[in-house]
Amino acid sequence: MKVVSIIHFQPIEKYPPAFNFIRLLASKNNNADFKINLLTTDPGLGWNKIDINGVSIKRIGKWGTEMNRTFRIVLYLRFLVGALFLIWWQKPSALMYYESLSAGAPYFYKIWLRRNCKLFIHYHEYTTPEEYESGMKLNRWLHKLEFYLYPLATWISHTNEDRLRFFLRDVNMINLENCYVLPNHPPAYWANLIYPPTIIPNKIGFVYIGALSLDTMYVKEIAAYIAVRKENCYWDIYSNNHTSEAIRFLIDLKAENIYFRGSIQYDELPRILELFQVGLILYKGHISNYIYNIPNKLFEYYVCGLDIWFPVQMLSCKSLITSDTYPKVISINYEELGNVSMQNLTDRRNLRFEKQEYTCESTYAPLLNELLKMK
């Protein structure tokens, strides 16, 4: 039987675009024509581990709440060795890995064990050469191994055109013909919702979903803006990846219209998101990865009918700004929120409804077609 093995060092639960793709791949296997293996790590406390029908999931190593450098290195090495043994035993015809930290086992398998195995590579994030050089030695070593894999790969993808262009420049392989853009779109059923009315509600509901940090996000700025407008708006925050400083800040703020809701399962998001009017993106753009980022939450907010506010520093998002349509995608200067009128920005009167088709089913179709051409 043909075998597909997917290597994802970071816990798969933290990356919805990855498990959306794997679910879609499994749905194409109704006749059990091939076997799907996922090798990842255990997310540890605070996360509900997912199961995917038709996918064998092996977790090599477990994340702790506080891991020092030594324990992290041990986890990386354990994963590398364990993943290599498992894919040697599984003998995949097609092999896919995510990010440089997952590249070790695929390198040894592709180069030394099965040269004709089809190789697929995807990057959730963009890492500059300077960040590779100043970062963890193991990651730097693995990235150097990747240079041998790039010309041999069937598929290499980044999440947007800017990141892909920078990647090709960085690896000095501008003429690679196996490179693609693979945006982080949600499942199609998310769009089948009732859209918020065009009239401005009595109170405008803001929502934020994702990691929460004071250092790299405009949490303080948006909290101050919303806290003094309790008659006009409220803000719900959902996060299972947050710093203690961020939580302490929200507690000390004592804002009556800001609510920390804790964690929420990904599949529950559509029924939650349709209750709000504005979805927030808060990255300050402190490194290139965030400046040139179009996060999955932007598309998730959008297909559920919310307007989106994103920081002016996020340059790649600007290609999605709307003008006379809704849902709105708006660039906001979070450092000058005093000049922002939420009533004007959320007013949909005289605008026409126009929904772009952002679905992972259509986005992932070319990748699935290539992946399923296994030898």
Closest CA to 368 of 34, 1, 14: 34
Residue 167: which of 182, 179, 149, 151 has the closest Cα?
Answer: 179
Residue 199: the pLDDT is: 58
- Furthest C-alpha separation in the chain: 65
Rounded to whole angstroms, what are the CA distances from 158 to 153, 185, 296?
14, 13, 13
**The CATH number, out of the four listed (3.30.930.10, 3.40.50.2000, 1.20.120.10, 1.10.10.1100), of the domain defined by the range 2-185+360-371:** 3.40.50.2000
* Residues 152-193: tens digit of each pLDDT: 999 999 999 999 999 999 999 877 889 999 999 999 999 876
Give the pLDDT score at 176: 85
Secondary-structure breakdown of the chain: helix, strand, coil percentages, each rounded to the nearest 5: 40, 20, 40
Domains in the chain: boundaries: 2-185+360-371, 188-353
Contact between residue 100 and residue 10 where contact means Cβ atoms under 8 Å apart: no
Helix (H) or strand (E) holding 7, with range, is strand 2-8
CA–CA separation, 286 vs 274, rounded Å?
30
Provide the pLDDT for residue 31. Answer: 81
Instruction: Name residues whose C-beta falls within 8 Å of residue 182's C-beta, 6 or more positions apart in sequence.
Output: 122, 157, 158, 159, 363, 364, 367
Q: Do 188-353 and 2-185+360-371 fall under one CATH topology?
A: yes
Per-residue pLDDT of the chain (375 residues; tens, 9 = 90+): 899 999 999 999 999 999 999 999 999 988 888 999 999 999 988 788 999 999 999 999 888 767 777 788 889 999 999 999 999 999 999 999 999 999 999 999 999 999 999 999 999 999 999 999 999 899 999 999 999 999 999 999 999 999 999 999 999 987 788 999 999 999 999 987 655 555 567 899 999 999 999 999 999 999 999 999 999 999 999 998 899 999 999 999 999 999 999 999 999 999 999 889 999 999 999 999 999 999 999 999 999 999 999 999 999 999 999 999 999 999 999 999 999 999 999 999 899 999 899 999 999 999 999 999 876
Residue 39, pLDDT score = 98
Q: Which pLDDT score, from 0 to 100, does residue 291 have?
A: 97
Tell me, what DSSP letter sits at residue 6? E
CATH number of 188-353: 3.40.50.2000
